[in-house]
Structure 1
Amino acid sequence: MLTRCIHTWRTVGQAKVWSSLAENSRSLRIRSESVRKCILEGTSPGGPPSLKRRFNRLKYNSPEKIDETFQICYDFLKSRANQVDGQVSKAEDPKETERLLVKAELDNPEVQYNFQYNDKVDNDPDVIDYEQPVYRYLGKKHWEEGAQMLLMQRLESLAIIPDTLPTLVPRAEVSLKFPFSTGVNKWIEPGELLSSNTTSLPPAIKIQEYELLDPKNQYYTILVVNPDEPDLENDSFRTTLNYGLVNVQVSYNDNVVDARKCDATNVISTYLPPVPEKNAGTQRFAVWLFRQPSALQPQRWVLNRDNFDIRQFARDHSLLPVGAHVWRSEWDSNVPHLRASHGLPPGRIFTRTRS
């Protein structure tokens, strides 16, 4: 009975949603035609092209009846997606439209293959296109099940929360790397200890939104703060501002904020690299991402970066924290050179040490 029903759906030509949507976006198809044909039509006598060694391809044997079973399931899921696709044009709420578009493509094996076997951070929009609701949905689930939990664990265990801001409801994924010749040119794990040479130039910050919003009208503020600057007069610590950007705009795919792309309308505080003082211990550098309610008007920013109140700044400009990151730094032999190159006074030494 199931086979006859599927045959009827195929003959009337109503189960074409995946192929028709793929015409509008290359990311909804598998790029490699050999892999695509193997997945959708069954393994050829030469073996699956995903196996690199010819010996392994030749000795590969598909499970019995797997191709027939796949075809039945594929046709069934495709026809169900077609029914969902018919509801999209009737939906009036953008969020409902988003939900239906995700539902229509979620079971597409080509979409699942693209997402599972390709880079999700350095994504190629022709393969993983975050403009597509289904990839945003898959990306958010992948983030929530891994990187987001690690981030929150590091923010709380390192006491970034509440030492800088009281809490965070993460909505956007923030990735960080130092891609210059002095850097390590990799995405930094939250809480990683980095040398002063690595952090001597401003980081590249990737903002990955997974929620439905209008990128043309969404502005962001990025603040990098150090809550571990010694305050000897008060026998405590103060927070310093190491980097400040406002009115930052990104899209779902073009979303890496690089200092070379920013101008005077964005930079409210130039990048000051970490220069921890000797024997002052490890210092934390928190990267906070905020959504702005609107573009901030150009003005002469007067900020006390040596004693910066990030909470008051967020309140004054109605900023909503949506993402964060953190790295750590400590004194090393390159710090005196960095201090001199930025016109900073020589660092202090906080305990007795042999010179």
Structure 2
Amino acid sequence: MSRPQLVARPIVRSLRQATGSTAATCPSRPLALRPFSSTPSRKDETTTTTSTPTEPSPDAQKLAAEAALLGQKKPPPYPSMIKQGTEDQLAQLMSPHLGSRRRRAALATTGTIPFEQLPYQCFQEARKILAQDREEKVAKIVAETAKIKRLEAADASTFRGGEAYKQKRLASLRTHVEELKVLADINDPLVKRRFEDGQGDMNKPIYRYLAHRKWSGMERNIILQRIEQFHIVPDLLPKFQPTIDVKMTFRGYKTPPGATLNSRITEIPPTLRMQVFEKGERLFSVVVLDADVPDTETDSFKKRLHFLATNIPWSPTRDSLFLNRLGTAAAASQPELGTLAVPWLPPFAQKGAPYHRLTVFILEHKDNLALDAAKLKEMYDGQGRDGFSLKSFRDKFSVTPVGFTMFRSEWDENTADVMARHGIPGADLEFKRQRVMSLKPPRRARGWEAKRQGPKYRHLWKYTKRIKGIKY
């Protein structure tokens, strides 16, 4: 018998007595149902018993039927505590996207009760303390806001540092107000619940703070590891630190940074999911380049531009950028999608060549100034793709790299077909490693073998011929 059935047996027995099923043999007594009690039960809470049998009420019959199902799939109708069980049992309750296992267990066992009204005494007492703390933070925010207004209305000549000191002081006060807004809601369980469910409003500083804290953990460390592992610095940029979260999907499938993808998957442009953590709107440019294009003339590698889009407006509330929609007729009427300067060139690698690093950089425009897409197309489309330099592009157009992700491409069974469909030459080209002969002179034989090279030891030659590297 399962644990819920063992717990339900005394409840079912008591409810059957209350419904009068044993009225012929013993008197029945009503039960005192205390669903969400915060204090221990007392004996004087029960009502006086009567000797006359009572008719089974519909409510009592419903309770008895529900109690009989306690050992089955239906949760208890009046839970008084979070469901107990092993970690595996708690993990099976509801969706794993709803946060911790204990929270899922609490939601699964409380039915339709609102989250802020969960019948847990400790939870409700903690919410009262958090509400008082929030009131104190709100009062500080009001006081700091009034101080900012007074400082804005004051004359800069009254300060020793002049206008520079005034602006510096205003910036410090505004930063302090943003910190107070975060501290006012950082411990609110409703805020944490909305963030875990993906329903947070990114216009509010608390949700941007939580998103940045989440990204600054493992995800940012993985990106930094890929930048160091694949030598993005200093091969492409002298130094670089990402400040926004960038994820990439091909055909709806998530692509981990640095993954090796099939040529058929990368034939169409990916979808980027970008999350910024600062308020306000800004302009972005997206650059996709191959950092490992073999150059047979110089026996080295060069770079090639595969995609360039510019003037992409972005804000914290936006999260998805569909690169395959840029350049279409629908995108021409939607300036919020951006402008396509260089169309997508499918990544490819010749047979025998090492893997190619396909890097995706997100660059922020200085002072939100738009770039001339026609000029970019003239400079980098066609023959301008070869020899593209990200550092030169950054310095020439005053853009700053803020986001990064990457994938790798190798020769596979679909590369030749992809190159043929898009008119890319070089599918029949194969790279082979050139054998480098040693420049050292031949080494004289020494030891046992040198003493037994004469005709006297001809019967031993057949054994020395089997040794790899010895040739007569």
TM-score by length of 1: 0.74
- Tell me the equivalent position of 2:120: 67
> What CA deviation, in whole Å up to 9, does each residue of 1:216-271 have, x standing for no partner?
xx101111111100011111000111111111112223231112443476112111
Give the equivalent residue in structure 1 for 2:277. Answer: 210
Cα deviation code 1:178-206 (max 9, x no counterpart): 13xxxxx2321111111111111001112
Residue number in structure 1 paired with 2:242: 170
Which segments of 5 or more consecutive residues in structure 2 lack a partner in the other structure? 1-76, 84-89, 95-104, 111-118, 149-172, 333-337, 434-472
Which stretch of the first structure deviates more once superposed, 255-264 or 72-81? 255-264
Q: Work out whether 1:351 is the aligned partner of 2:432.
A: yes
Query: Is it true that 1:291 corresponds to 2:371 in the alignment?
Result: no
Secondary structure, aligned partner of 1:210: coil
Alignment match, 1:111: 191
Structure 1, unpaired ranges of 5+: 1-42, 59-65, 180-184
Contact (CA 8 Å) 1:155, 1:326: kept in 2 or not? no
Contact 1:206 1:256 in 2 (8 A): yes
Q: Is 1:146 equivalent to 2:227 in the alignment?
A: no
Q: State the secondary structure of the residue aligned to 1:280.
A: coil
Mapped partners of 2:234, 2:373: distance in 1: 31
Shift of 1:280: 0.5
Question: Which AA in structure 1 matches 2:79?
Answer: P
Q: Is the 2:240–2:401 Cα contact (8 Å) retained in structure 1?
A: yes
Residue type matched to 1:205 in 2?
A: L
The one-letter amino acid paired with 2:353 is: A
Q: How many aligned residue pairs are there?
A: 286
Partner of 2:141: 88
Identity of aligned residues (%): 28
Quick check: 1:268 aligned with 2:335? no
8 Å CA contact 1:168, 1:323 repeated in 2: no
- Distance of 1:210 and 1:107 partners within structure 2: 19
- Which residues in structure 2 correspond to 1:237-276 (within 5 Å)? 237-263=301-327, 266-276=339-349
- Contact 1:171–1:211 (Cα < 8 Å) also in 2: no
CA distance in 1, matches of 2:210, 2:230: 29
Q: Return the structure number with greater relative CO, CA threshold 8 A, min gap 6.
A: 1
Counterpart AA for 1:332: D
For the Cα contact (< 8 Å) 2:340–2:373, is it kept in 1? no
- Structure with the higher fraction of residues in helix conformation: 2
Closer, same or farther: CA 310–260 of 1 in aligned 2, 3 Å = same
Matched to 1:162, the amino acid is: P
* Aligned twin of 2:102: none
Report the secondary structure of 1:230's partner residue. Answer: strand
CA shift in 2, pair 1:195/1:143, >3 Å: same
Query: Paired residue for 2:283?
Result: 219
Give, in whole Å, the separation in 1 of the partners of 2:319 and 2:276: 9
Query: 2 CA distance for matches of 1:189 and 1:46?
Result: 43
Give SS of 1:79's match.
helix
In 2, are the aligned partners of 1:340 and 1:346 still within 8 Å (CA)?
no
Query: Greater CA radius of gyration, 1 or 2?
Result: 2
1:137 corresponds to which residue? 209
Amino acid across the alignment from 1:198: I
Query: What is the deviation of 1:48?
Result: 5.5
Structure 1 letter corresponding to 2:227: L
**Residue of structure 2 in register with 1:128 after alignment:** 200
Q: Secondary structure at the match of 1:135?
A: helix
Once the 2 structures are TM-superposed, how far is the Cα of residue 168 of structure 1 from its aligned partner? 1.5
Q: What's the TM-score once normalised by structure 2's chain length? A: 0.57
Deviations 1:30-80 (A, max 9, x none): xxxxxxxxxxxxx942766994599x949xxxxxxx933322222111111
Computed over aligned residues only, the root mean square deviation of the Cα atoms, in angstroms, reads 2.5
Matched residue type, 1:310: L
- Within the candidate set 253, 264, 271, 1:197 is matched to 264
Deviation at 1:111, TM superposition (A): 1.4
CA distance in 2, matches of 1:150, 1:325: 10
Q: Which amino acid aligns with 2:236?
A: T
Deviation string 1:113-133 (CA, Å, 9 cap, x unpaired) is 2334x3xxxx4xxx1222221
Q: Distance in 2 between matches of 1:288 and 1:135?
A: 25
Post-superposition offset of 1:167: 2.0
Q: Distance in 1 between matches of 2:78 and 2:314?
A: 44
- Equivalent pair of 2:341/2:374 in contact (CA under 8 Å): no
**Given that residues 194 and 329 in structure 1 are in contact (C-alpha distance below 8 angstroms), is that contact kept between their aligned partners in structure 2?**
yes
Q: What CA distance in whole angstroms lies between the structure 1 residues aligned with 2:183 and 2:318?
A: 25
Distance 1:321 1:277 in 2: 30
Moved more, 129-138 or 225-234: 129-138
Q: C-alpha distance in 2, partners of 1:71/1:156?
A: 48
SS of residue paired to 1:156: helix
Distance 1:292 1:282 in 2: 31
How far residue 164 of structure 1 moved from its aligned partner, in angstroms, is 1.2
**Structure 1 residue 307: Cα displacement:** 1.0
Secondary structure at 2:314 match in 1 = coil
AA of the residue aligned to 2:309: L
**What is the SS of the residue equivalent to 1:71?**
helix
